[in-house]
Amino acid sequence: MSLRIEEYPSPNYDQRTRAIDLVVLHYTGMHDARTALKRLCDPAPLAGHYPGPWQNADTPADTPLGRASAHYVVDERGVIFRLVGEHLRAWHAGVSSWEGEGDVNSRSIGIEIVNGGHDFDLPEFPLAQVDAVIVLVRQILQRWELHPSRVVAHSDIAPGRKRDPGEKFPWKRLAQAGASIWPDASGIAASAEADIALLQRQLRAFGYGLDEAGAHGERTRVVLEAFQRRFRASRIDGAADAETRTLLAALTKSTR
Ligand SMILES: [Zn+2]
């Protein structure tokens, strides 16, 4: 499958301070591709230009919004828009962290997948769109010599703050096509009881932002939710149940 890539330059970028070693997948979470492209190319976005469920109805129309962008936008037909060159830093990650580092934009390539997301009742991702994402991601992994484990969700790098690309996104299909990873739980037995310290070590080993200190309670639950949203979408409750523990143990084995 050859990709259809259209140049759609955004002024929202600056220089990287670090080598590329991550690919971050997002959903746009807006009404349509047009609105998302306009927002991601807007050098001075105002709240009034982007009305929608993502903002408070009584926010004044002239309220400035943060400038944002991504390297690529993939629409529902599978057409890809290139907004920012890969060698430049696009602004898609926001407040986030992975493997203990905060500036995720500097080290990542951001792909926005056109989809209304949670605010629009989680629409399905059309096949043509998923196929295009797979080919694009594989090309990026090849170009920068990255392992499929380097592909993460926005919800992975900003647990509790972001939920995209959401639990409808077909991560397993990506993994089967070599564009992500999927835990192989065969032959792995979960411990009879949840060992929270072990879980936290495994979550941290994968890359989740979970500090040693204060890692108990609410933060661990939020990070477990992010893990489930991606790898066990049938129940996202932040509980360390046996299936979650098994998948996490399997995942720890399958990275790199
Ligand atoms: Zn996002």
What's the pLDDT tens digit per position in 212-229? 655 568 899 999 999 999
Expressed in angstroms and rounded, the spacing between residue 248 Cα and the centre of ligand 1 is 23
Say whether pLDDT at 39 is over 90: yes
Expressed in angstroms and rounded, the spacing between residue 27 Cα and the centre of ligand 1 is 6
Extract the tokens encoding 177: 């096509």
- Amino acid found at 186: S
**6 given a catalytic annotation:** no
- Amino acid found at 178: G
- Amino acid found at 189: A
* Count helices and strands in the chain by DSSP H and E runs: 8, 8
Expressed in angstroms and rounded, the spacing between residue 169 Cα and the centre of ligand 1 is 13
Instruction: Give the active site residue among 112, 212, 218, 225.
Output: 112
Ion ligand 1 nearby residues (CB, 5 A): 26, 154, 164
CB contact at 8 A, 41 and 112: no
What 3-state DSSP class applies to 156? Answer: helix
CB contact at 8 A, 97 and 157: yes
The secondary structure element, H or E, covering residue 87 is none
Expressed in angstroms and rounded, the spacing between residue 28 Cα and the centre of ligand 1 is 7
What pLDDT, on a 0 to 100 scale, did the predictor assign at position 216? 63
Say whether pLDDT at 256 is over 50: no
Nearest-angstrom CA–CA distance, 140 and 179: 10
Q: pTM above the 0.85 mark?
A: yes
What pLDDT, on a 0 to 100 scale, did the predictor assign at position 52? 87
List of E strands, the chain: 5-7, 13-15, 22-27, 72-74, 80-82, 88-90, 108-113, 151-153
Give 135's DSSP letter.
Answer: H
What is the crossing angle of helices 196-206 and 218-231, to 10°? 60
Task: Please name each of the domains of the chain with its CATH number.
Answer: 5-176 (3.40.80.10), 196-254 (1.10.101.10)
Expressed in angstroms and rounded, the spacing between residue 241 Cα and the centre of ligand 1 is 28
Measured CA distances, 106 to 23, 25, 71 (Å): 11, 15, 12
Q: Rounded mean pLDDT of 179-186?
A: 93
Per residue in 42-88, pLDDT (tens digit) is: 999 999 999 888 888 889 999 999 999 999 999 999 999 999 999 99
The backbone torsions φ and ψ at residue 130, rounded to the nearest 5 degrees and listed phi first, read -65, -40
Q: What share of the chain in percent tops pLDDT 90?
A: 85
